[in-house]
Amino acid sequence: MTSDANAGAQMPPAMPVVRTIGFDDVKAAFSAGMKDFLAAPLFGLFFGAFYALGGLAMVLFIARLDMHYMIYPLAIGFPLVGPFIAVGLYEVSRCIQRGEVLTWKSVLAKVWEQKGRELSIMAFVTLFIMWVWMYQVRLLVALFLGLKSFSTLAGFIDIVLHTPEGMRFLAVGHVVGAALYAVLFTVTVVSIPLLLDREVDFVTAIITSFKAVLKNPVVMLGWALVVLALTAVAMIPAFLGLLVVLPVLGHATWHLYQKLVEPAAS
């Protein structure tokens, strides 16, 4: 009786197995990401536009509130939500790999489907870290620049670049921002594509992502810096560079995930 009950019980999914990769794998993943973008450019441009326009809208909203000192931190922090927005790009890459016909209906339906899955929880994780970033910026402004007066973005930049308090604000702010970026990168680089790819809980996905980074620290640090640098350059022309950079990085992240994590046992 006991053996029959055990046989009928569903075993929890096994913990995903993480591989060791090299820089050649990163190059291959980036190349595959570029090929996916060229194979389905309209999908890439759509999701890239969603991201770029979102960034512009947030900056304009902050400017309308006369909170000009928040524009630079917002521009830096906005890419923190990029991994979640790239879910649609992961699905496009997955369909291309399977040889499936890409349709807007199927891709967008897959993205919409995530609202009822574990991936929706990861959205709150990314947004929470974004909120922490913006909150600590306001805290640092109060601590270092509280006695300074600036009513425009130009005035804020002048104070930041030409006063000792401003330089300290920049130094501490960038250190804190780098720490938050490292945490979010480690949490999401594997977990989000993993949650799209198979049925695991978000805790398992986060643990797997940590394992992937800790097992390949140098390689993953290199990839994190590439993502950061390309995203920063892409945002300079009014976020417009993200139209191409975001989809390429999104597709590349999907292929990097597949190199980092062994396929699920059939």
Q: pLDDT for 167-219, tens place per residue?
A: 888 888 888 888 888 888 899 899 999 998 988 888 999 999 999 999 999 99
Indicate whether 8 pLDDT > 50. no
Q: Within a 10 A sphere around the Cβ of 47, how many other Cβ atoms?
A: 24
Domain-located, residue 13: no
pLDDT at 149: 61
What would you measure as the largest C-alpha separation in the chain, in angstroms?
A: 78
Q: Are 102 and 43 in contact (CB under 8 A)?
A: yes
Using DSSP, state whether 18 is helix, strand or coil.
Answer: strand
pLDDT digit string, tens, across residues 68-92: 667 666 666 666 666 667 888 999 9
Nearest alpha-carbon partner for 201 in 11, 51, 66, 12: 12
In a domain, 34, yes or no: yes
Using the 8-state DSSP alphabet, how is residue 117 labeled? S
Residue 253 CB partners (closer than 8 Å, separation 6+): 29, 33, 83, 86, 90, 189, 193
The set of residues, in sequence order, having a beta carbon less than 8 Å from that of 131 and lying 6+ positions away, is: none
Is 3 a domain residue?
no
Tell me how far apart the alpha carbons of residues 71 and 61 are, in angstroms, rounded to a whole number.
10
> Quick one: pLDDT at residue 213?
96
Residue range(s) defining the domain that contains residue 77: 20-108+118-260
* Of the candidates 70, 45, 50, the residue with the CA atom closest to the CA atom of residue 60: 70
Q: Which residues contact residue 75 at a Cβ distance below 8 angstroms, ignoring those fewer than 6 apart?
A: 55, 59, 235
Considering the domain boundaries, does residue 218 fall inside one?
Answer: yes
Residue 215 lies in a domain: yes
**Does residue 1 fall inside a structural domain?**
no
Report the pLDDT value the prediction gives residue 21, as an integer from 0 to 100.
96
Structural domain count of the chain: 1
User: Which DSSP symbol is given to 200?
Assistant: -
State whether residue 107 is helix, strand or coil.
helix
Q: Is residue 185 part of a domain?
A: yes
- Lowest average pLDDT, out of 7-11, 55-59, 105-109, 165-169, goes to 7-11
Split at pLDDT 50, 70, 90, the class of 10 is low
Asked if the structure places residue 248 within a domain, the reply is yes
Question: What pLDDT score does 139 carry?
Answer: 86
pLDDT tens digits, 240-259: 888 899 899 999 999 999 99
Sign of CA dihedral 251, 257, 259, 265: negative
The H or E element containing residue 94 is helix 87-98
Taken in order 121, 122, 126, 128, the sign of the CA dihedral is positive
221-238 mean pLDDT = 86
**pLDDT-derived band of residue 18, with 50, 70 and 90 as boundaries?**
very high
CA–CA separation, 98 and 111 (whole Å): 18
